[in-house]
Amino acid sequence: MPELDLQEHPHRRYNPLTGEWVLVSPHRTKRPWQGKVEKTAPEDKPHYDPTCYLCPGNTRAGGVETPHYSGTYVFTNDYAALLEETPSAQYERGLLLARSERGLCRVLCFTPRHDLTLAEMDAADIRPIVDAWVEQYAEIGAKPHIHYVQIFENKGAMMGASSPHPHGQIWANETLPNEILKEHASQQAYWQSQRRCLLCDYVQTELAIGERIVTQNAHFVAVVPFWAIWPFETMVLSKRHMTSLLDLQEAERDALADIVQRVTARYDNLFETSFPYSMGFHQKPTDGGAHEAWHLHLHFYPPLLRSATVRKFMVGYEMLATPQRDITAESSAARLRALSEVHYRRVA
């Protein structure tokens, strides 16, 4: 069989983390765009917004006052999707099955500053956020009825963020969510068959090839994964094997803050806009198991495609058949790699 040209021929790429495929159509990058053009959010935001319920001292929905915090601030979501007091119950009618789900939802304000995103912070300012991520994972994961802790951020109105104030969320489940189940099964199967970690092997492959690496430091590497679905999707992986945020040593906490700043600054610099994305950590469940096959990693899923106003849609074929992309992972990585890590708003 002849060698496949990844930059010219339509092809499928396999995601070993989920066992799923993505269709890549590199020849379609030349097609004109006449679809929806998004509006961009205003660039200049105040340090403090009296109408923002996440700014210090303001009143949130329901009458709760946000304290005058000076660093990170965590609180229980006022409209939580999961509740700890949910009773154990089941509904079953033939093929119709529902089971109750206990859990909790918290909000993590990154900073009291209304106008600062991760991309515009210094790594030293992100380090307390890393510490908060670790603390929340440890505290919530210790609850006996919590078996998975999902730490994430939706940045920008395009990704459904209800507030422009820089913040993330922590949702914790009694059971393992769908994406975690898929990654859990794949990593465990690889561990049992190869006696090695799947993502440790993947990190070594990407470091050896180099063309999908966006940036790296001593402890983490950011790549556009070979099987990426979103145009400028990236994944941040620890270089040494660790199963969760709890394994981070002091220098690695600093390094995680550093690489988050590097990746997000490059995103903003790509189209010179506050780049929207959903990002989140995947790490071992908190059900008491060792889960040695798990490897700590962070996914960034940004929707922008051609500019700050043209996004990628998951519709039609993607919804009914298989995810599809035009720009290759290698091309995306090259564009991100070529960008400065100095935020464009800081350039004189």
Of 106, 112, 108, 110, nearest to 79 by C-alpha is 106
CA–CA separation, 151 vs 278, rounded Å? Answer: 11
In contact, 315 and 207? CB cutoff 8 Å = no
Decide if 9 is catalytic: no
In contact, 193 and 319? CB cutoff 8 Å = no
> Each residue of 157-195: b (16+ CB within 10 Å) or e?
ebbebebbbbbbbbbbbbebeeebebbbebbeebbeeee
In contact, 294 and 284? CB cutoff 8 Å = yes
Q: How far is CA 136 from CA 129, 133, 147, 236, in A?
A: 10, 5, 14, 20
Residue from 165, 167, 184, 295 carrying the catalytic annotation: 167
List active site positions.
Answer: 167
